Amino acid sequence: MSEAPASLFEVADRVEGRLEHFLDAEHQRWCAVDPVLGDAFAALRSLVMAGGKRLRPAFCHWGFVGAGGSREDPRVVDAGAVPTLYSGRVRPRHVLLALLLCVIAVAAAIATTPVGQEWAQDAWTWLTDTLDTLRGKVT
């Protein structure tokens, strides 16, 4: 098996750096809204930063350069990072996990209000009853 060209690693490193910068800033922004959201965002960050060949960003980069753009233009790094955020690596289970984490974060935020505490208690009771019913059907 042959080694990937150095230019591929160059593009991948620039995209990784841009993604880290973007995701770190977003993580701080969402943690400022509610610290519980930090856990959900950390899960999302680990999914995006899981690695890979970063071929889509390389195609974007070299297409831009081939059309006359500069290799050093920072806009091409941003454009190359976008496919990574929306790549085919996201599976339905990832979406469901992210949705579940968001629901938990919203519920935790609502539960800090007096009305939300009553709602949270009702939701918790419903959830435990539902889980008990499901356990009874499985065993």
Least confident range of 2-6, 13-17, 81-85, 111-115:
81-85
**Alpha carbon of 26 to those of 14, 19, 21, 134: distances in Å?**
18, 10, 9, 37
pLDDT digits (tens, 9 = 90+) for 84-117: 555 555 566 666 776 777 677 766 667 677 877 7
Mean pLDDT over each residue of the chain, to the nearest integer: 76
What number is the average pLDDT over the span 43-49? 80
Give pLDDT, residue 19: 82
Give pLDDT, residue 127: 86
Instruction: Report residue 68's pLDDT band, with 50, 70 and 90 as the boundaries.
Output: confident
How far from chain centre, in Å, is Cα 54? 16
What number is the average pLDDT over the span 40-60? 76
